[in-house]
Structure 1
Amino acid sequence: MYMRRNMTNRFIGSVASCDIISTGSWYGDLPDGVPKEVKLNRKDYYIEETQHISIKEAISVTYGIKWEHICKPLEGKIESFNTTEYSIEKAQKEYLLELMGRRFSDNIVLYDEDECAVQVQLINTEGQEFIYEFPFDNDMRAMSILFRQILEAPTLLLFDGNREKDRIQEIYIEVQKNIYQEYGDKNILSFNWTRSSISIDCNSKQFGHSSHSCSEYVDTQMIHQLKQDIDFHLGDTLYNLNTFSLSESHNLDRDPARGGIVTVRIKWAHKEDTLFIGNVTDQYVPTWYKNLISFICTQTRDKSLQEFLQSNHTSDRRIYTYCSVYIFKINQELYYRTDRNDIYEGDIVKVPFGSDNAVRTGRVESISYHTRYDVPYDLKRTKFIIDKDLEIIYDTNRYRYDDPYDL
C-alpha cells in the first residue's frame, strides 16, 4: 500500500473520528446546478464526483461534483449538492473505526505523486490528526466491501473505487413482431435478479407456427454466471443507457413492417427505470441488445430466444395471387392462392376444404395481387386452388343459378 505522508507514517492510539474523501468519475444523471451546456455535451467534459464520508457521532456522505472541458478552458464545480445520513449501531461504528486505526497503523511505503484519488483523515482520542493520501488501492478492496455492506451503500467509492454503480433489479423485454402489417407475435422475457429467476413466454406465428412456453430457471450457478457476464460485459453500457423511444417524428417507425418493436425496461435499485423502445431490424437493434440476448441464450440454452431477435429471412419481393372463391356446398367465400395465369373471375374451380382437404367446387369471385406484407390471409396457411372444373366450365350458367347445392 503506497501513501503520501502529511504528519506521520503510522497511526497511533485509538480512532475517535474519521473522514474519507474519494474522487472518481461521475455516473448517471447530472444533478441540478450543473449548467445545461455541460449536461447536453457531457462527452466533451471530464466530470468527477467527490464523496466525503464522515464517521463521527453519526455517519454521513456528502456529494460534490466538478467538471472541466476536454479542450477549452471551461470548468466549474458544486461543492455540495446532497448529503445522505446513514443509521448505524454504535457497535458497528466503533468496529469500523477500530479497523481504520488498525489498517493505518501498519507499516506503509511513502507515495510521492501528487495525483491521489483518496484522502483519509484520522483523529485519535488525544486529538492528534493523521492524514494519508493515495490512489485507489485494490489491496483495500475487502475493507471497502465491508464498509459498503454495513452502510448498505453499494455506490460508495471508498478506498478501491470499485463501487457498484447501481444494482439491476429486473430486466424486462417485450418483442412484438410484425406479421402482415399487424403485430401478431408477442414474446416476453423477464429476468428477476432478486428472485434469481428467468421466465420466457413466447406466442409467435411469424414462422408458420404457434407456440407458447414459460420456463423458470432455478439453477443458481447458471444465474450467478449470467449476472457476472452481464455485469462485466454490459454493466457500464446498461447503466449509461439513455431512455429512448420511437415517436412519430422518428424515421425508425416510418415502416412498421420492417420487423416489429422491441421494448427493454431495466429496473434499478436506486436510479429511475431505463426504457428503450426500438425497431427489431438488424440495422437498428443495438449491439448491447444482441449481446444481452446472446448471454441469456448461452446460459439457458433456450432456443425460443431467437424470437427476440430480428428475423433472418431474406427480403421477399414476390407478388402473390389470391382468389376469393365462393364454395357452393357451404355457401361461404374463402381465400385461395394460385400460381396459374389462366384463372379468371367467374371460373369454376376445385379447391381443398377442411382439415381433411376434401375437394369442393366453387366460383372465383375476385382476384387480387399482394406482397407478403399485405396478403388478406396468412401466407403459409392459405391453400392452393387444385384446378379448373373442366367438365362444367362450358355450362356454368346452370350451376350458377339453378341449383348450386346439387354440386
Structure 2
Amino acid sequence: MYMKRNVTDKFTGAAVSCDIISTGSWYGDLPDCVPSEVKVNREDYYIDEIQHISIKETISVTYDIKWNHISKPIEGKIESLTTKKYSIEENQKNYLLELMGRRFSDNCILYDEDECSVQVQLINTEEEKFTYAFPFDNDMRSMSILFRQILGEPTLLLFDGNREKDRIQEIYIEVQKNIYQDYGDVNTLCFRWNEASISIDCNSTQFGYSSHSHSEYVDAQMIHQLKRDINFHLGDTLYNLKAFSFSKSHELDMDPARGGIVTVRIKWAHKEDTLFIGNLTDQYVPTWYKNLISFIRTHSRDKSVEAFLQSNHKSDRSLYTYCSVYIFKAHQEFYYRTDRNDIYEGDIVKVPFGSDNAVRTGRVESISYHTCYDVPYNLNRTKFIIDKDVEVIYDKNPYGFDAIYDEQK
C-alpha cells in the first residue's frame, strides 16, 4: 500500500484512539445551508463531502462539505454539517482499534500528498501520534466493510471510498412496442430487492399471446449475484439518473412504433423515485439499460427478458404502395400491395384470394402510399397483386365476358 507518512516510524504499541478523515464527492441534494449560487450552478463546482470518524471513549462521525469552482478562484466550506454518535460495545471498539494498530504497523511507502483522500491519525498508550495519508485503497476494502457493518452505517467513505449511496428497493420496467393502429405489445418486469423473485409479464395484442413468469424458483445465490452486479457496475449511473429524461432523437424516429417506449422506475430507500422514459431504438437506448437487461437475462436465464430489448431489425423508412381492389366474384374491396409503377386506378388485375390463394380478377379502386407505421392493413399479411389483366379475365362465368364487363360498368 502506498502512503505518505508524517512520522518516520511505523505504528508501535497499542492504539487507544483513532481519527479517520475521508474526502469524496458529494451525492444527492445539497443541504439548505449551501449558497444558492452553488446549487443553481452545481455543474461548475467540485463539491466534496468530508467525513471525520473519531474513535475515542465513544465513536462519532462528523460530516462537512466544501466546494471549489472549476475555473474561478471561488471556494467555500461548511464545517460540522452534522454529527452522529454511535453506541457500540467496549470489546467491539477495542477490536477496531487493535485492527487499525496492526494494519499500520506494516512498512509503508511514501505517496504524493495531493493524491491522498484519506488521513488516519493513531495515538498509542504512550501518547505518541502517528499520521498517515493515502488515496482510497481497495486493499483495505474488507476493513472498510467491517467498520460499516459494526457501526451500521453503509454511507461511510472510510479507506476504500466504496460507500453505499442509497439502497435500491425496486426496479420496475415497462416496454411498449408496435404502438400503431390496433396493435400493441406491453411487457412489464418487476424486481424487488428484498424478495428472491423476478416477475415478468409479456402481452401482445398484435400476435394474440400473453405469458407470465414469476421466477420464485430463482435461488438466493443468483439474486445476491444479480444485485451485486447491478450495484457494482451500474450503482453510480442509476443513482445519478435525472428524475425524468426523454432521449433526443431524429424527427423520423420520434414515432414510438419504430422501437417502442421504455419506462424505468427505481424506488430507493431514502431518495425519491427515479423515473426514466425514452425511445427503445437501437440508436438511442442507453448503454446502462442494455447492461441492466443483460444482467437480469444472464442470472435468471429467462428468455422472455429479450422482449425488453429493442428489435434487431433496422428502422424501416420505406414507402409501400397499397391498392384497394374490388373483387368481382366476392363483390367486396380488399387491400393488396404492389411494387410496380404501371398500375393505375381502373386497371383490371389478377390477385390471390382466400386461404387457398385462388386467382381472382378485380378492379383497382384507389392507390395510396404508406410507411410501415400507418399502413391500412398489416404489412406482413397483405398479399401482392399478381399482374395486370390486359387480355383475359380468368374468373369463369356462365354468361361469358360481356356479363362481367357489364358488371364492371
Question: Unaligned 5+ residue runs, structure 1?
Answer: 402-407
Q: Secondary structure at the match of 2:148?
A: helix
- Is the 1:197–1:218 contact (alpha carbons within 8 Å) kept by the matching residues of 2? yes
Q: Which residue in 2 is equivalent to 1:323? A: 324
2:99 maps to which residue?
A: 103
CA pair 239-137 structure 1, distance change in 2 beyond 3 A: same
* Paired residues of 1:11 and 1:130 also in contact (CA < 8 A): no
Closer, same or farther: CA 400–19 of 1 in aligned 2, 3 Å: same
After superposition, what is the alpha-carbon deviation per residue over 1:77-117, rounded to whole angstroms, capped at 9, x for unaligned? 2223344555x4xxx33233212332344435577664553
Alpha-carbon shift at residue 19 of structure 1 (Å): 4.8
Q: Cα offset for 1:374?
A: 0.7
Letter in 2 for 1:99: Y
Over aligned residue pairs, what C-alpha RMSD do you find? Answer: 4.4
Q: Aligned to 2:64, what secondary structure does the other structure show? A: strand
Question: For residues 333 and 150 of structure 1, do their structure 2 counterparts lie closer, same or farther at Cα, with a shift above 3 Å needed?
Answer: farther
Q: Per the alignment, in what secondary structure is the counterpart of residue 214 of structure 1?
A: strand
Q: Is the 8 A contact 1:6 1:132 kept in 2?
A: no
Residue type of the partner of 2:373?
Answer: Y
CA offsets per residue over residues 222-267 of structure 1, 9 Å max, x none? 4344334333332322222223333999969844443221112222
What is the SS of the residue equivalent to 2:165?
Answer: coil
**Which one of 395, 399, 405 corresponds to residue 403 of structure 2?**
395
Query: What is the letter of the counterpart of residue 66 of structure 2?
Result: K
Question: Structure 1 residues 156 and 77, CA, compared in 2 at 3 Å: closer, same or farther?
Answer: same
Distance in structure 1 (CA, Å) of the matches to 2:172 and 2:368: 42
- 8 A Cα contact 1:176 1:183, kept in partner: no
Change (3 A) 1:18 1:105: closer
Q: Where does residue 275 of structure 2 map in the other structure?
A: 275
Give yes or no for the alignment of 1:213 onto 2:211. yes
Q: In structure 2, how many angstroms separate the alpha carbons of the residues matched to 1:101 and 1:371? A: 72
Q: What's the secondary structure of 1:164's corresponding residue?
A: coil
Are the structure 2 counterparts of residues 148 and 350 from structure 1 closer, same or farther at C-alpha, using a change threshold of 3 Å? same
Provide the secondary structure at the position in 2 that maps to 1:295: helix
Q: Tell me, what secondary structure is at the counterpart of 1:160?
A: coil
Residues 6-25 of structure 1 mapped to structure 2, 5 A cutoff: 9-10=11-12, 12=14, 15=16, 19-25=19-25
- Once residues 327 and 189 of structure 1 are traced to their aligned partners in structure 2, the CA distance between those partners, rounded to angstroms, is 50
Tell me if structure 2 keeps the 8 A contact 1:4–1:110: no
- Tell whether 2:244 aligns with 1:244: yes
Distance in 1, Cα, partners of 2:39 & 2:147:
31
Distance 2:347 2:131 in 1: 96
How far apart are the structure 1 equivalents of 2:263 and 2:220?
27
- The amino acid across from 2:322 in the alignment is T
Instruction: Using the TM superposition, name which of 341-350 and 197-206 deviates more.
Output: 341-350
Encode CA deviations 1:306-360: one digit per residue, 9 max, x unaligned.
332322323241323142758987x98765556676585697987745x787999
Contact (CA 8 Å) 1:7, 1:130: kept in 2 or not?
Answer: no
Aligned residue for 2:133? 134
Q: d(CA) in 2 for partners of 1:214 and 1:327?
A: 46
Deviations along 1:377-396, whole A, 9 cap, x unmatched?
22223456789874456435
Cα distance between partner residues in 2 of 1:8 and 1:248: 57
8 Å contact 1:18–1:97 — kept in the other structure? no
- Give the fraction of aligned pairs with identical amino acids, expressed as a percent: 63
Structure-2 residue corresponding to 1:29: 29
Cα offsets for 1:194-243 (capped at 9, x unmatched): 2233233223467xx44433331604444344334333332322222223
Paired residue type of 1:297: R
Equivalent runs, 1:361-380 vs 2, <5 Å: 367-380=367-380
Change (3 A) 1:311 1:241: same
- Alpha-carbon spacing, 1:63–1:264, altered in 2? closer, same or farther (3 Å): same
**Given the superposition, is the C-alpha separation of residues 61 and 105 from structure 1 closer, same or farther in structure 2, using an over 3 Å criterion?**
closer
**Which residue of 2 is the match for residue 265 of structure 1?**
265
Q: Which residue of 2 aligns with 1:154?
A: 154
Matched residue, 1:405: none
- Structure 2: which amino acid aligns with 1:102? E
| Whole-Å separation in 1 of the counterparts to 2:182 and 2:81 | 49
Q: Figure out how many residues of one structure are paired with residues of the other and give that number.
A: 390
Alignment of 1:133-212 (within 5 A): 133-135=132-134, 136-138=136-138, 140-180=140-180, 184-204=184-204, 209-212=207-210
* Per-residue Cα deviation, 1:138-183 (whole angstroms, up to 9, x for no partner): 4543332122123332111123322223333322221112343677
**Over residues 254-286 of structure 1, what are the superposed CA-to-partner deviations in whole Å (9 max), with x where a residue is unaligned?**
444432211122223333222211112222212
Q: Report if aligned partners of 2:350, 2:359 keep a CA contact under 8 Å in 1.
A: no
Partner in structure 2 of residue 70 of structure 1: 70
